[in-house]
Structure 1
């Protein structure tokens, strides 16, 4: 991995073990790229590789006292890197699994709420909206849409002007459209969000 002779490496590791930051810098420069190549073959992710290599060198610095007992630094470095890489990959897999389980649970919960609500039945949703209309708008809407009466017939039956019938229909349809859009957009937005 590095061009250091065995004796030079022992001296360098000894200096690192004593807390020599310059020696640690040399060790870092000597092994960073090679260790990165090793880790990259496992992770296939450059950002993750960089993070792991830095973590490995941080571990080496924190545990620098143990460097004097290391017979083969290259083997030691690769074992530390391999173990840390596999631990990171396990953690990522665990987090991904937990996230997927959370999403699955949230979607099931959302589905059960939608199935149990009036939103899942368009006719019931429309009926809810109609019930919220002011009395005159509701009556005009019901006579027009449910009983199929013409605007002129509604005006005559309710003893109001044709323009008032038209105004009530416009307002009723606008409210119904807004109400339905709000509830449908909520469902469309809510479910994919998880």
Structure 2
């Protein structure tokens, strides 16, 4: 559709309102579609929110050669399948005992690096506005679903979704800096 193409071009130019319009237009149908794969309505909502977040995150380089609607449904299907596969993998890992990673064996330099990473993550999260920070921690740290967060805080699921999109945008600003830091931390474990 021509309207979708215009909105997507606006998204590429950092227009958040255009992304919200696309989100509102396709959200319900994409959730129904995702639910066919992930079964849970809450998980389907998270999948759709993540699809739109990835569009926002990759807006500068994302090339869509089909209709936007087709792209959204394919992206939702792929992410849904990934979520299901990850859940199966996590289940198998629980069934097969793994050696738990303990940080007690870290030497003082490694321990320092680990603590620096943890401090940086905490600082990034602390920069969020109060409600957004609570929602982010409940979802990403405590593992609550959007619906559970909405019920716990007495707000709508759409408010939780919007706050999570904004929180993830904030955190992703630090992504390249953080990834470099984590890679250097991980490399410190490799004997060369």
**More helix per residue: 1 or 2?**
1
Taking structure 2 as the reference length, the TM-score comes to 0.48
Q: Report 1 or 2 for greater relative contact order, CA contacts < 8 Å, sequence distance ≥ 6.
A: 2
Taking structure 1 as the reference length, the TM-score comes to 0.47
